[in-house]
Structure 1
């Protein structure tokens, strides 16, 4: 069981932990172009910030140019992610298949990726043709120059996916996979008249059943959503496939999402310069001498470091190596350390800059500044819940030989950590105070971290900078492709009338708004286990937020409940992938850590119920 569970890492997060493997020769020119595009986007956004806030002469075409570059970066990044096997997928079930079936299942999963991409090529070309008649507002050029990126990205991904299939699968497995998909597709086509009259039953068959089956087989999440939506539109509706391309474009193209690759790059700079380690050492000098002090340091470090990187994996990979040796010396059991690390990372996910909050604000139409302000306080509530449990767990901690750090040591570590400590407050203050948008702040933060990293933290080698740019492109492409296909699936759900019926049923629940909150917690905890954060949000937010508003629930309050519930599910074994990531980082068997994490998840759940029941915790200071 342990070996199977240890495989339950996302490919994306493996790359973050162990370093991205080099891409194939075919994709190296694409990687170079993607790296240049990322630099161009940062440069454009910085130019816009300087022009707006320093020169007071806004450049109206900057956002449009950055948006065009962004879509090209996303599609190239998605292709790079396929080449490097970095697309997010659920692998916990793959290890459970008998060895004789593994080759067939792997071939079938790769073939599904090929089929999804092949089905989208012609609609994407048609979409480009349709968009060619539209002229952009600021640059006054055809919109087809932007959306052509979708065609190029699909073609590149298809070429790479076919190459993977031919290299990694046996011919007999490929043949069996082709026959299986052909038979299933033929049966669905013959049953199309039945599906056309089935109504909401098609939701269970295609948007739930097909997507869930693909998840179990280890198909990347973006393509699970893609196949489910394609099958739904093809076999149960008369809607042309070009509509799906349009919804994918819309899901990937929000200006708010421009901050996603920038904050991903910021996390890479944090890791490369050691700024996070400096924060951990300062926290250790302050609190390391008290009972449960190292647990407090771990939680406090996750809280602060999350404010820089915006990435749970980056947070855990920064904090664990610095603290675990001393925690072991004091008698902390490895399984308890992993439990605290995982739940601490879940706690810190609402601390800005949180990519999850940025995406949520984009798809649900909620103020990013309000989400950042509220997220900081909500994380403090959860931090307190975990700290109380950690103190009780540490009542028998071995404190022999532990000494309070001298004032000189505290002063020295503070001086080293001060530039890094300042960055989270720059981000929160600028966005929360309405001084700048999340996208503008992200570019300022990257420039600040890069300059400070060079001047005070030893700098970054040029080869490392290039690797960081390519890795950021790949990770951003993987994230944005999920957002695109999830947006298409969410649109399909709403068009069936399911959203209206769901709203009606939810409003009639006994107990009013709080019963709806309890249902929300259950739904997003389950989705957090299976889908991870971003796809769950993009899929369900368009359905759930309008219902919450009708019930009188403040959108920021509801957002805090959604994100916290999702993060608890993400860390909940036996499926939650975040739990396995923490085990991998801490080098502890998942079987050993599984029993220890439940009390910590219980503490988070108590904090979540408090947050749900007391809206003032989320909105009284907005």
Structure 2
């Protein structure tokens, strides 16, 4: 390792520890490297940053973000919650399980973990508090369930990973379906177990009439993920075009069917989408420069040599990479991790014959776990802010939820067919 590379990593880590925004940490450390190493002029920073975001596929990010916001404020999300409540809300821990299923369903519309947490949390946390659920339990369940938005298609994280590794985004979307369901079922099991120990009951008794009304009211909301994923699978449109279809569908339903979207609301949602997109693209641009430096310093080759010398087993190598991702996920933002490590891990995957689509699903699950693990834990932090409780109040209930997510991750490592079988059939 050269001195300049060592200083690059030291400066980056120091900036992260000082709580600098991840885009700033990546950009400043990259500029510092270029000044110290004198390897290239500073104009390279601008060139690589522009090249990093010059991708048609990335247009899907603002479109999916906007589609998710339109579906929340256009009346689709409350109807999803009503359907979930009619199905299982009466059982022990019913409200918690309703929240988890609602997060899974809304995750299939928004593609963002934080958006999932905020949209569902603002509606469910007050109701759970009124029913006597501990705020720390509700927040930890919400954070972990909301993070499934990064796994369940159309995941923005999967879009970024597919772009960074030149993998099929359509195959990634299909491959994530079974793991997303397994994670949701695991979280529901933990929620039921904790609720049973604490005597937290469900809501109103089951009613076929209520279920029928809720199902009828949620039909249009449930069609959205079918249109998006089904259209991609059938080759009717690309993932980016699917995002545009999602926006058009949400606009039509919100304006002409539910009449819940006004011009002022649309302008506000466009502004919010622009702000979120700007943050994401700034991270991608900065990470592109950082990744170019790592490639120039032959870090991917060093990683391949280090892991191949340590083990000849592809499974062991996979577990080693999972451990690195779990650690980094506790204090780094998901998209930055993908853009930094994807070029490093890709040669390792090729050496061991590991399918990049399979690895991409494991990676997103790691990032979902990291999004709920302090000190960063962005989804858990968002859940605590929505619930207006300190982050520490959720720690007591967090470990079982994270434990089941890690358990599902190990299950997928041991049984790859749970990820690869569905895309193999459909593609």
Q: Fold conserved (TM > 0.5)?
A: yes
1:618 aligned residue: 419
Q: Whole-Å Cα distance in 2 between the matches of residues 434 and 401 of structure 1?
A: 43
1:254 aligned residue: 55
**Aligned Cα root-mean-square deviation (Å):** 1.8
Structure 1 stretch 425-434 or stretch 323-332: which is displaced more? 323-332
1:349-498 alignment, distance < 5 Å: 349-396=150-197, 398=199, 402-498=203-299
1:320-335 alignment, distance < 5 Å: 320-335=121-136
2:7 aligned residue: 205
Question: Which of residues 343, 354, 364 in structure 2 aligns to 1:553?
Answer: 354
The question of whether the paired residues in 1 share the 8 Å contact of 2:96 and 2:191 is answered with yes
2:95 aligned residue: 294
1:243 aligned residue: 44
2:142 aligned residue: 341
Structure 1 stretch 572-581 or stretch 294-303: which is displaced more? 572-581
Name the SS for the 2:92 alignment partner: coil
1:316 aligned residue: 117
Name the SS for the 1:508 alignment partner: helix
CA drift of 1:575 comes to 3.0
Describe the shift of the 1:213–1:474 C-alpha distance in structure 2 as closer, same or farther (beyond 3 A).
same
CA drift of 1:326 comes to 3.9
CA drift of 1:315 comes to 1.2
1:502 aligned residue: 303
The question of whether the paired residues in 1 share the 8 Å contact of 2:92 and 2:201 is answered with no
Describe the shift of the 1:549–1:434 C-alpha distance in structure 2 as closer, same or farther (beyond 3 A).
farther
Name the SS for the 2:59 alignment partner: helix
Q: For residues 14-56 of structure 1, what are the alpha-carbon distances to aligned partners after superposition, in whole Å with 9 as ceiling and x for unaligned?
A: xxxxxxxxxxxxxxxxxxxxxxxxxxxxxxxxxxxxxxxxxxx
Q: Whole-Å Cα distance in 1 between the matches of residues 276 and 147 of structure 2?
A: 20
Q: Whole-Å Cα distance in 2 between the matches of residues 418 and 477 of structure 1?
A: 33
Q: Whole-Å Cα distance in 2 between the matches of residues 460 and 338 of structure 1?
A: 29
Name the SS for the 2:189 alignment partner: helix
Q: Whole-Å Cα distance in 2 between the matches of residues 349 and 496 of structure 1?
A: 31
Structure 1 outlier segments of 4+, above 4 Å: 397-402
2:344 aligned residue: 543
Q: Whole-Å Cα distance in 2 between the matches of residues 594 and 417 of structure 1?
A: 34
Q: Whole-Å Cα distance in 2 between the matches of residues 484 and 419 of structure 1?
A: 37
Q: Whole-Å Cα distance in 2 between the matches of residues 383 and 614 of structure 1?
A: 18
CA drift of 1:329 comes to 4.6
CA drift of 1:318 comes to 2.0
Q: Whole-Å Cα distance in 1 between the matches of residues 3 and 419 of structure 2?
A: 38
Quick check: 1:595 aligned with 2:390? no
1:515-526 alignment, distance < 5 Å: 515-526=316-327
Q: For residues 64-115 of structure 1, what are the alpha-carbon distances to aligned partners after superposition, in whole Å with 9 as ceiling and x for unaligned?
A: xxxxxxxxxxxxxxxxxxxxxxxxxxxxxxxxxxxxxxxxxxxxxxxxxxxx
Question: Which of residues 15, 21, 34 in structure 2 aligns to 1:233?
Answer: 34
Q: Whole-Å Cα distance in 2 between the matches of residues 491 and 424 of structure 1?
A: 36
The question of whether the paired residues in 1 share the 8 Å contact of 2:52 and 2:284 is answered with yes
The question of whether the paired residues in 1 share the 8 Å contact of 2:162 and 2:168 is answered with yes
The question of whether the paired residues in 2 share the 8 Å contact of 1:525 and 1:570 is answered with no
Q: Whole-Å Cα distance in 1 between the matches of residues 413 and 236 of structure 2?
A: 30
Describe the shift of the 1:403–1:461 C-alpha distance in structure 2 as closer, same or farther (beyond 3 A).
closer
Q: Whole-Å Cα distance in 2 between the matches of residues 203 and 400 of structure 1?
A: 56
Q: Whole-Å Cα distance in 1 between the matches of residues 298 and 38 of structure 2?
A: 13
Q: Whole-Å Cα distance in 2 between the matches of residues 376 and 324 of structure 1?
A: 26
The question of whether the paired residues in 2 share the 8 Å contact of 1:347 and 1:379 is answered with yes
Describe the shift of the 1:325–1:220 C-alpha distance in structure 2 as closer, same or farther (beyond 3 A).
closer
CA drift of 1:243 comes to 2.5
CA drift of 1:319 comes to 1.6
1:268 aligned residue: 69
Describe the shift of the 1:402–1:467 C-alpha distance in structure 2 as closer, same or farther (beyond 3 A).
closer
Q: For residues 468-522 of structure 1, what are the alpha-carbon distances to aligned partners after superposition, in whole Å with 9 as ceiling and x for unaligned?
A: 2222122111111110110110110011122111111112223611222222112
Q: Which runs of 5+ in 2 are unaligned?
A: none
TM-score (norm 1): 0.66
Q: Whole-Å Cα distance in 2 between the matches of residues 506 and 264 of structure 1?
A: 37
Q: Which runs of 5+ in 1 are unaligned?
A: 1-198
Q: Whole-Å Cα distance in 2 between the matches of residues 510 and 499 of structure 1?
A: 17
Q: Whole-Å Cα distance in 2 between the matches of residues 564 and 204 of structure 1?
A: 30
Q: Whole-Å Cα distance in 2 between the matches of residues 366 and 402 of structure 1?
A: 44
Higher RCO, Cα 8 Å, sep 6+? 2
Q: Whole-Å Cα distance in 1 between the matches of residues 178 and 200 of structure 2?
A: 32
Structure 1 stretch 528-537 or stretch 445-454: which is displaced more? 528-537
Name the SS for the 2:40 alignment partner: coil
| Rg larger in structure | 1
Structure 1 stretch 213-222 or stretch 474-483: which is displaced more? 213-222
* Aligned positions, number: 423
The question of whether the paired residues in 2 share the 8 Å contact of 1:288 and 1:294 is answered with yes
Quick check: 1:585 aligned with 2:373? no
Q: For residues 196-252 of structure 1, what are the alpha-carbon distances to aligned partners after superposition, in whole Å with 9 as ceiling and x for unaligned?
A: xxx52322211x211222223333221211111111112113312233322211210
Q: Whole-Å Cα distance in 2 between the matches of residues 400 and 618 of structure 1?
A: 35
Describe the shift of the 1:399–1:233 C-alpha distance in structure 2 as closer, same or farther (beyond 3 A).
closer
Q: Whole-Å Cα distance in 2 between the matches of residues 370 and 400 of structure 1?
A: 40
The question of whether the paired residues in 2 share the 8 Å contact of 1:499 and 1:543 is answered with yes
CA drift of 1:576 comes to 2.1
Describe the shift of the 1:390–1:545 C-alpha distance in structure 2 as closer, same or farther (beyond 3 A).
same
The question of whether the paired residues in 2 share the 8 Å contact of 1:330 and 1:397 is answered with no
